Amino acid sequence: MRKLLRTIFLVDLFEGLWVTFRSQHPKKIVTEQYPMHRPKVAERYRGAPRLNINPENGETLCISCDLCALACPEKLIVVGWVRNPETKRKDLVNFTFDTSRCMFCGLCEDACPVDALELTQDFELASYTREGQIWDRQMLEEGPRPTQYKS
């Protein structure tokens, strides 16, 4: 009988609506209005890779040692270099990083002896093509430039 009365008077429906409406107060809204408001990611978040440069002379910090490429379980980093006949050092020619295969484990940045490779807090890595997900040296040094929206 009780169940029948609940069905006739739509009690379950009104209980459900009450749950919905009591959460409508603006103070209770937790949805982030991305991309108008950008979320603050955790301090130790590992996102977009960056190849750091020396801020004083603009030269790369990378010494082309290849340790990051060797440490990567996915083998997605390729370091291109040539031997400088004058300095006898390796000069970095190119550096590619396939972000589509990366699992952001951080092993590559841990392996880098000079803190040249870093996984930053940038999280916008989407691209329209697979090729766009393979970042070259310029992209790695400049970093992603996502569209900034204003509310």
Q: Give me the residues that bind ligand SF4 (CB under 6 A), please.
A: 62-68, 71-74, 76-77, 79, 102-108, 111-112, 114, 116-117
Is the CB of 120 or the CB of 146 nearer to ligand SF4? Answer: 120
Q: Name the minimum Å distance from CB 39 to ligand SF4.
A: 21
Q: How far apart are CA 50 and CA 24, in angstroms?
A: 42
Is the CB of 35 or the CB of 107 nearer to ligand SF4? Answer: 107
Q: What are phi and psi of 77, to 5 degrees?
A: -105, 135
Q: How far apart are CA 97 and CA 79, in angstroms?
A: 9
Q: Name the minimum Å distance from CB 18 to ligand SF4.
A: 47
Other CB atoms within 10 A of residue 145 CB: 9
Helix (H) or strand (E) holding 110: helix 107-111
Is the CB of 35 or the CB of 105 nearer to ligand SF4? Answer: 105
